[in-house]
Amino acid sequence: MSLRHKVFAAATVAIAATCPALAAPDYQTPAPVAYLQDLSSGAILYAKDADRRMPPASMAKMMTVYVAFDMIKSGELKLNQKFPVRPETWRAWHSQGSTMFLGVGEEPSVDDLLKGIVTLSGNDACVVLAEGISGTESAFTDRMNRAGVKLGLTNSHFGTSNGWPDEGRTYVTARDLAKLAAATIKDHPDLYKRFYSLPSFTWGRTLGDAKPIDQANRDPLLGRVAGADGLKTGHTEEAGFGFTGSAEQSGRRLVMVMAGLGTSGQRAEESVKFMEWGFRAWQAKPILAKGKQIETAEVQLGSASSVGLVAPTNLTATLPAGAVPEMRLTVSYDGPIKAPIKAGQHIADLIVTTPDLPPQRLPLVAASDVAEAGFFGRAWAGLMGLFGA
């Protein structure tokens, strides 16, 4: 297998031949760490110390939620499943940082606990969920770390389910947090929509004469930025004030991460400004319509010798607002691609290169099924291989 490329002529897309060199719009933020990505194109719009290892505080809870979402999707966990609040867990977490105000002996459902984690940032809810799923929090963090490896979070490690300071065992980077947010949105869209944009949550305590407690979502973008629908704030003395957020406008979805800010008010102000800059200072440039074929890829040992490469969705590049730069399109795939191939399978990428901006990589999928070749087809391919044909 070898990497195949095809570069398209300039006429493939509309360009301005005399366009000056393109530069990213300027942006300044007091946040020590900041990262902004357009998920619609994969373009990184801003990166400031994005690979620095740092404590995530409550942003670690996104991984706890992602693991639970995965288990719900596979049928291993049910939303109506209930887990008891152990006395030991209550003693450890009823007054440690953010809390759902769970009581000893209560049996909240998975649905309740996820709302308590996402909306209220409940440290107690995280540990009750972790213990309910895996028996111990330590066993659950093993699951978190396995999920992190699967998602390619190469600079992250989780030692707790809730991000409480643990002498440095738990660490992340802004780039990894953005990957985790993107995976949550992509892999679990229905659950993401169900849990991540609730404005508030009331935990209806049922023991004794305690009254239900209503708490507001801490997400600083909700109600302030159009299309905002997640994800998670975080704060400890060690980490400062941080936030991983997302919003979608006119088909463009952005994910942002900020960390190390001094106050919750500064976090809110800077998060809103950062997200609004991402939508205002950048634009989507249409590249390829959904279902349109741009090229073919060679197939190995298949019922056909090639397969069409098409856009799985309307593909766009992200460019500075108002710019009409020269663009070069390159199809890249590792091939020939071995059969069988399923229609819609991601088998190639369309790389968009523009002056002075990082390349943007967009997915291309197979236009049709390609079955394995029969006996005579494989034999003929082997014979041709012997003669170098």
- Tokens matching residue 184: 């949550």
The catalytic residue among 61, 115, 179, 285 is 61
User: Is 61 annotated as catalytic?
Assistant: yes
Return the SS3 of 267: helix
- The catalytic position among 40, 41, 48, 58 is 58
Q: How far apart are CA 218 and CA 120, in angstroms?
A: 7
Angle among Cα 274, 67, 138 to the nearest 5 degrees reads 110
Task: Decide: residue 4, CB within 10 A, 0-12 exposed, 13-18 middle, 19+ buried.
Answer: middle
Of residues 284, 181, 276, 176, the one with CA closest to residue 221 = 276
SS3 47: strand
**Dihedral sign for Cα atoms in the order 317, 319, 323, 328:** negative
CA distance 129 to 125: 6
Annotation marks residue 338 as catalytic: no
Q: Which stretches of the chain are assigned E, i.e. beta strand?
A: 2-7, 33-38, 44-48, 200-203, 213-216, 228-236, 240-249, 252-261, 282-288, 293-300, 306-310, 315-320, 328-335, 337-338, 346-353, 360-366
The structure tokens 């109600």 sit at 223
Catalytic residue among 40, 41, 98, 121: 121
Q: How would you classify the pairing of strands 293-300 and 337-338?
A: parallel
Q: Could you count the other beta carbons within 10 Å of the beta carbon of residue 311?
A: 19
- Tell me, yes or no, if 156 is annotated catalytic: no
Q: Are 200 and 215 in contact (CB under 8 A)?
A: yes
CA distance 341 to 372: 8
User: Which residue stretches of the chain are H helix?
Assistant: 61-74, 87-93, 110-118, 123-134, 137-151, 174-187, 189-195, 264-280, 375-386
| Active-site annotation, residues | 58, 61, 121
